[in-house]
Structure 1
Amino acid sequence: MEREQLILKWLKNELNHEELKAFKKLEDYNDLIQLNNALETFKSEEYNTAEALDLVLNTIKSKKTSTSWIKNIIRVAAVLVISFGPYYYTTTLDTKYSTDVAQKSLIELPDQSIVNLNAQSTLIFNKSDWKKEREVNLSGEAFFKVSKGSSFLVKTKTGVVTVYGTEFNVKQREQFFEIICYEGLVGVTYNSQETKLKPGDSFLILDGKFIAKEKENNLEPSWLNNESSFKSLPYKQVIAEFERQYGVNTTLINVDKNQLFTGSFTHNNLELALKSITLPLHITYSKTNDAIILKGE
């Protein structure tokens, strides 16, 4: 077997007994082992490419050997870098959590902050950068309990939430952006302007317009307890959330999607939920497989 093949199989831990004996007979066997031990730092959790390169170069410079050996050892170092490259790449990737329809997820961030992710939502963050920058990207809805520490940012495509407190809810859907502060102090940046929210305060942008809301008296969002609540919101928002929680398709006939609705529906009883969102508006409903038809008067 060629020398290069032996070295490559050794790096991959694929040598059989006979190949291992042949590898140990290589003239630079001891040097290869020594370099490999030095390059074990490539496996550390805090991977630093600059430091790793310096280590390789210093190791090579410290060897008073022939030019051919240096060329060989540089090739070995290159193979090691390529071998550990995927490790480095995967440890710097973003972490992504997504929920499907009728699904919720409880997520613990690297600083023990807690995120409850509502149905059809996505949360993305980078673990490797977390100590330097606590930042998440959110699409959908989530309730946050943030541990004390450095600044904490929640980025959405509509606006940015800067955390000065600990408990708040962020909901970013199509034409809907709402933040409710439950504890501490929260800053919401929308159109380059920041608004500070104290406990009970909310910030709502609906169809591109700011909507003033009454003080929030609850200690946490109702969806954490499997119930969606609405206060004077367009009926289309109610239907969208209903479809999200039950995984159904809804067809509206002679129903005004923009009429305002105040009420709630449960997430664990379809029949009861349908009655909750139809009876107050004198709407009738019928079901066909996973499709629901709502008819107005």
Structure 2
Amino acid sequence: MDRETLILKWLNNNLNDQELKAFKNLEDHDDLVKLNNTLQAFKAPEYDAGKELDSVLQTIRSKKQPKTHWIKPFMRVAAILAICFSLYYYTTTIDTTITTAMAQKTTVELPDASSVSLNAKSVLAFNKNSWKKNREVELQGEAFFKVAKGSSFNVITQTGTVTVYGTQFNVKQRDNYFEVICYEGLVGVTFNSQETKLKPGDSFLIIDGKIIAKEKENSLTPSWLNNESQFKSLPYKQVIAEFERQYNVDIILIGIDSEELFTGNFTHDSIEVALKSITLPLHLTYSQSNDSIILKRE
């Protein structure tokens, strides 16, 4: 049974046990229940809608009755129609939102069978009901997209919009950091009203509002999908920020220039190995206490 029919039968208290179970499994079940409870305050007392409508029509036809007699039942019919319209509008415009926490990754399948892999501490939002007309998602964080063929596909971030002409690409939008890497097909990146088209291996990178040139990308997928973060001549603060997201820790730098460029990688599977990977190349020492890590110059 489709979603709209389930909701309609629920409103009419006409669900059997199997249908009730299906309704409770809807993603926006809790939101629908809350909205319905709120709207109850605006409902007129219990009445038979059909009977009330007949009463309204009879009253309107009768010239002997004063006009004011049909206003109250008419308003009742109008009220229930307004409630139904409001509920329909709410349920068809609400977005589906997927959020990953620190040290968490997940893969999401979109309505057209496109897939999105979300990196740690990221948010993806889209509307299922309007998907056929408008393939569009909003992204905060980092995600790798495999887009099914079809109409235009847009990824909207706070920094820029990515328009898909191909199928596989990675988008990373963090504080003062925006990067798009094309792995297959063709991708368009719109920033400051100008579009840059990327072919496989091309990157578009902005750090602190400045466009940064990058070497050709040779890998077929982003490293984080294989539980590893790689960096090529990036400020050390970007390395630290990613480390904190992957291991859910706070890192304190003492006597270290966070703008110093770093080239290297760290694994997501072992914090001890990862710490050595980001400290040894810069001759740093580290100490750990609970969820805090202090990095110092040797």
Q: Distance in 1 between matches of 2:195 and 2:112?
A: 26
Render the CA deviation track for 1:207-257: whole Å, top value 9, x for unaligned. 221111111111100101111111111110000000011110001111121
1:135, distance to aligned residue in structure 2 (A): 1.0
Asked whether 1:135 is paired with 2:152, we answer no
- Aligned partner of 1:253 in structure 2 is 254
Asked whether 1:172 is paired with 2:186, we answer no
In structure 2, do the counterparts of structure 1 residues 71 and 187 end up closer, same or farther at CA, with 3 Å as the change threshold?
same
- Aligned partner of 2:200 in structure 1 is 199
Render the CA deviation track for 1:258-289: whole Å, top value 9, x for unaligned. 11111111112111110111111111100001
Asked whether 1:271 is paired with 2:272, we answer yes
1:66, distance to aligned residue in structure 2 (A): 3.6
Q: Distance in 1 between matches of 2:49 and 2:142?
A: 58
Alignment gaps of 5+ in structure 1: 1-10, 15-27, 36-59
* Aligned-residue CA RMSD (Å): 2.4
Q: Distance in 2 between matches of 1:77 and 1:191?
A: 47
Alignment gaps of 5+ in structure 2: 1-10, 15-46, 61-68
Secondary structure at 1:262 match in 2: strand
- Aligned partner of 1:233 in structure 2 is 234
1:132, distance to aligned residue in structure 2 (A): 1.3
Q: How does 1:58-77 map to 2 (within 5 A)?
A: 65-67=58-60, 72=73, 75-77=76-78
Q: Distance in 2 between matches of 1:235 and 1:120?
A: 19
1:75, distance to aligned residue in structure 2 (A): 2.3
Q: How does 1:6-155 map to 2 (within 5 A)?
A: 13=13, 31-32=50-51, 65-67=58-60, 72=73, 75-83=76-84, 85-155=86-156
Secondary structure at 1:119 match in 2: coil
Secondary structure at 1:257 match in 2: coil
Q: Distance in 2 between matches of 1:194 and 1:84?
A: 40
Secondary structure at 1:229 match in 2: strand
Identity percentage of aligned residues: 68
- Are the counterparts in 2 of residues 32 and 73 from structure 1 also a CA contact under 8 Å? no
| Partner amino acid, structure 2, of 1:144 | F
In structure 2, do the counterparts of structure 1 residues 161 and 29 end up closer, same or farther at CA, with 3 Å as the change threshold?
closer
- Are the counterparts in 2 of residues 189 and 195 from structure 1 also a CA contact under 8 Å? yes
1:193, distance to aligned residue in structure 2 (A): 1.1
Render the CA deviation track for 1:160-183: whole Å, top value 9, x for unaligned. 111000000000111111100000
- Aligned partner of 1:43 in structure 2 is none
- Aligned partner of 2:184 in structure 1 is 183
- Are the counterparts in 1 of residues 49 and 77 from structure 2 also a CA contact under 8 Å? no
- Aligned partner of 1:284 in structure 2 is 285
- Larger radius of gyration between Structure 1 and Structure 2: 1
Q: Distance in 1 between matches of 2:158 and 2:51?
A: 51
| Partner amino acid, structure 1, of 2:128 | K
- Aligned partner of 1:219 in structure 2 is 220
- Aligned partner of 1:24 in structure 2 is none
- Are the counterparts in 1 of residues 137 and 154 from structure 2 also a CA contact under 8 Å? yes
Secondary structure at 1:284 match in 2: strand
Secondary structure at 2:239 match in 1: helix
What TM-score, normalized to structure 1? 0.77
Q: Higher mean Cα deviation, 91-100 or 245-254? A: 91-100
In structure 2, do the counterparts of structure 1 residues 32 and 204 end up closer, same or farther at CA, with 3 Å as the change threshold?
same
In structure 2, do the counterparts of structure 1 residues 80 and 193 end up closer, same or farther at CA, with 3 Å as the change threshold?
closer
| Partner amino acid, structure 1, of 2:229 | S
- Are the counterparts in 2 of residues 107 and 116 from structure 1 also a CA contact under 8 Å? yes
Q: Distance in 2 between matches of 1:210 and 1:199?
A: 19
| Partner amino acid, structure 2, of 1:123 | L
- Aligned partner of 1:6 in structure 2 is none
- Aligned partner of 1:40 in structure 2 is none
| Partner amino acid, structure 1, of 2:217 | E
In structure 2, do the counterparts of structure 1 residues 128 and 210 end up closer, same or farther at CA, with 3 Å as the change threshold?
same
1:90, distance to aligned residue in structure 2 (A): 2.5
| Partner amino acid, structure 2, of 1:271 | E
